[in-house]
Structure 1
């Protein structure tokens, strides 16, 4: 688009280039700073819990050593104990850590004046490399202690989380988002945005379901908080635990309202199937339904309504019904892939106990989300959209107005700036009759139109007159032409027989 190109040209005005040493110093500061700040934040939370707990022994070395596995858990690296593996990790620390890394990467890109996609490699690789090295080193130092981590998993896990966060931070500043959008046609771009909107709406419905469950069982939630311990420190620790796992609970609620459900050990909860049992005494789990209700399948209406809304937003994307359905299909795929990623990060192993594992079925959830968006959305987009206009010509035949071809359209010629549009509309077409020639110009620069039109007639009259005056010239030319070809003249042929 024109406005986007103008903005990109304005943003290319950057500070002078840094030297190699200065650039390296900035990248190292960003990489080390993101590691140190993240580690310090985890240690501060643990120090607060240890200081307020009644029977906990507070020491600086103990807090710093305990922060190492917590820092790995914030990078979503599974931890191993004697009893089993802890794979279901809280998502809120991971989200906060990714936000910190993203802001650090964005600030580094602004300081270095980066604006091209290839320039983002240095920032992303430096941050991801530093987190990977520190994560692998921590896993090696932990060794075979009480809490362990696999060095290879820690190395690549920390690199993946930090690299993704850094890429998100520099995506807009270095033009990565524009590259993706420029590769998509308007129909696919609209479908992509509708898919993210549908995913956000479905997750919001899951959050409402969790909030409704906590509200309905508020007394049970208070009993679980009181049973955790009488001291303020214990209550604070339980509250922080519930707060850290709140995104996991929201994703589980999202899976419930879609129809896939979730399981916690032998307990299975979904709108169409319920298997009860014992659950851990965590206040956040009080939002789970304790029994099967008749109205439980009614929560599936939320997914259908969101699918209808997606189809309604895609009804004007094109006059072709197939193009509108294609936009809904892109939205369904986008929402399905997003739900697959969320479900894969929300569950995991729970140390091999009675409540192991915590499962949010990622494949089933992605399939159901795609169907809830695709089926009602495609029907609404097909039926509610505009149609091609049919005109009747004089002989009674029907002429269908050609549709807009979105694939052949060039999005760069769309004027989005109001000022440029006003200037374009003010342009006037100059009429040739109103065009006046400056009389002060020299006559040699222009030809007289009358003389130019009469000149061929004069030349033709002169040629005709010359031909009438000398008819013998044509006979002389014929004789010379025959002599050149070696042909006998008419005088020689007069005396020969047969002439």
Structure 2
């Protein structure tokens, strides 16, 4: 009996620690094998590069189908609705019954850029090679071109039956592609961009200044959006008057009008920024600035309720808002003269692109929004001048510090 008990293994000897269950230890997951061929790269990055655009196209088709079904329209409208909706969501002008509307809501375009950027960022958060980025670029470009060409064909085919006209092929293809490539560029980490620039022989400051220009543009647009919302709230009576222009609106019409106004919020923020920077907002042949305003009939949308009939005396003080934004930007960075020029140039390019998407023609009202070229010049000046001042201040401080250190060394050398 005692011999049997002595040969029986104890509990501590029977139990073996299991990896992953012991405190302080975790089961290590094997790293996925890096793709080695182009076929492997394309296959690996299809879910990140193609899926967002494919899902967006599918959602567009389903939404158009549901609207046509609920509205009791014929299914013959479906191809034209899908194609036109895809193009309009990407800022492409549309022409219905001879009326051109190139001032389309910018909010869907912003959402598309954010969607593509988030998926690209998720796909490139681990270590990626230049060839991997090339594969993602090819997938995004090809998918964008295919979907835009198909949409253009749908609209062109329907134009023989319905009172719609296809947009210019260059606009129908390049404007969606520009948004998708913007999402691709924003989705890649700045660290990766600096590595690419270094390998390509491009100064890393090019990437750094581009990021700085993007941040100052973001801060200015957000500040302008806040100003616009405050002005809209102060003119709530004009909102009621605009809504009253639709006597038979109903709940469905009210919902559509609300969604339309929300879609135009980024356009309103960019237009407000143009005015705050000293530029103008154009509509129906009239202009609005911090110093003057022309009273004309506005489009019947509540979003235009923030446009004043005349410029009050205190309005020029609103220019202090962008002044505070750019001064904060300049004082939190150290600039060289080349950095100032590069950042201002990038800001001008971004301003030109953003204003081009945020403005356009609206039928009989003509051009509505800021002038893109004037907006680009304003962005250049408002970025360059504070940066130049910050550079001069740092230069003077460096020289005074050098003179003080030289005087101190001279005193130390005296006997």
Do both share a fold (TM > 0.5)?
yes
CA contact (8 A) 2:293 2:309 kept: no
Q: What is the number of equivalent residue pairs in this alignment?
A: 370
CA contact (8 A) 1:263 1:269 kept: yes
The CA deviation at 1:114 is 6.5
Q: 2:97 aligns with which of 78, 82, 90?
A: 82
Q: 1:131 aligns with which of 100, 125, 144?
A: 144
Q: Deviations over 1:311-351 (max 9, x none)?
A: 3224xx3xxxxx64544444333333222221121111223
Q: 2:344 aligns with which of 327, 332, 345?
A: 332
| Corresponding position: 1:116 with 2:133 | no
Q: Which residue of 2 aligns with 1:293?
A: 312
Question: CA, structure 1 residues 102+146, in 2 after alignment: closer, same or farther (shift >3 Å)?
Answer: farther
Q: 1:369 aligns with which of 372, 379, 386?
A: 379
What secondary structure sits across from 1:276 in the alignment?
Answer: coil
The CA deviation at 1:97 is 1.9
Question: CA, structure 1 residues 157+284, in 2 after alignment: closer, same or farther (shift >3 Å)?
Answer: same
Q: Which residue of 2 aligns with 1:247?
A: 266
What secondary structure sits across from 2:361 in the alignment?
Answer: coil
The CA deviation at 1:254 is 0.6
Q: Give the whole-Å Cα distance in 2 for the aligned partners of 1:57 and 1:239.
A: 23
Q: 1:215 aligns with which of 207, 216, 233?
A: 233
Q: Deviations over 1:350-409 (max 9, x none)?
A: 23x1x11214112222222322333344335423662232224898999xxxxxxxxxxx
Higher-Rg member (1/2)? 1
Gap regions ≥5 residues in structure 2: 1-30
Q: 1:203 aligns with which of 221, 245, 255?
A: 221
CA contact (8 A) 1:340 1:366 kept: yes
Q: Give the whole-Å Cα distance in 2 for the aligned partners of 1:197 and 1:22.
A: 36
The CA deviation at 1:264 is 1.1
CA contact (8 A) 1:42 1:70 kept: yes
Is 242-251 or 332-341 further displaced after alignment?
A: 332-341
The CA deviation at 1:65 is 4.2
Q: Give the whole-Å Cα distance in 1 for the aligned partners of 2:299 and 2:172.
A: 28
1:374-453 equivalent positions in 2, closer than 5 A: 374-383=384-393, 386-388=397-399, 389-390=402-403, 391-392=406-407
Q: Which residue of 2 aligns with 1:441?
A: none
Q: Give the whole-Å Cα distance in 1 for the aligned partners of 2:34 and 2:329.
A: 47
1:45-84 equivalent positions in 2, closer than 5 A: 45-46=63-64, 56-57=71-72, 62=77, 65-84=80-99
Q: Deviations over 1:108-154 (max 9, x none)?
A: 557xx871123212222122212212212222232234222333432
Q: Give the whole-Å Cα distance in 1 for the aligned partners of 2:241 and 2:138.
A: 48
Q: TM-score, normalised by structure 1?
A: 0.65
Q: Which residue of 2 aligns with 1:172?
A: 189
Is 144-153 or 59-68 further displaced after alignment?
A: 59-68
Q: Give the whole-Å Cα distance in 2 for the aligned partners of 1:387 and 1:184.
A: 25
What secondary structure sits across from 1:158 in the alignment?
Answer: helix
Q: Which residue of 2 aligns with 1:99?
A: 114
The CA deviation at 1:184 is 4.1
| Corresponding position: 1:224 with 2:242 | yes
Question: CA, structure 1 residues 30+304, in 2 after alignment: closer, same or farther (shift >3 Å)?
Answer: closer
Q: Give the whole-Å Cα distance in 1 for the aligned partners of 2:83 and 2:38.
A: 33
CA contact (8 A) 1:242 1:282 kept: yes
What secondary structure sits across from 2:352 in the alignment?
Answer: helix
What secondary structure sits across from 2:397 in the alignment?
Answer: coil
Q: Which residue of 1 aligns with 2:175?
A: 157
Question: CA, structure 1 residues 395+338, in 2 after alignment: closer, same or farther (shift >3 Å)?
Answer: closer
What secondary structure sits across from 2:398 in the alignment?
Answer: coil
Q: Give the whole-Å Cα distance in 2 for the aligned partners of 1:184 and 1:374.
A: 20
CA contact (8 A) 1:140 1:151 kept: no
Q: Give the whole-Å Cα distance in 2 for the aligned partners of 1:387 and 1:35.
A: 52
The CA deviation at 1:103 is 3.6
Q: TM-score, normalised by structure 2?
A: 0.76
Q: 2:290 aligns with which of 266, 271, 280?
A: 271
Q: Which residue of 1 aligns with 2:361?
A: 349
Question: CA, structure 1 residues 223+64, in 2 after alignment: closer, same or farther (shift >3 Å)?
Answer: farther
The CA deviation at 1:263 is 0.5
Q: Give the whole-Å Cα distance in 2 for the aligned partners of 1:27 and 1:325.
A: 40
Q: Give the whole-Å Cα distance in 2 for the aligned partners of 1:373 and 1:272.
A: 22
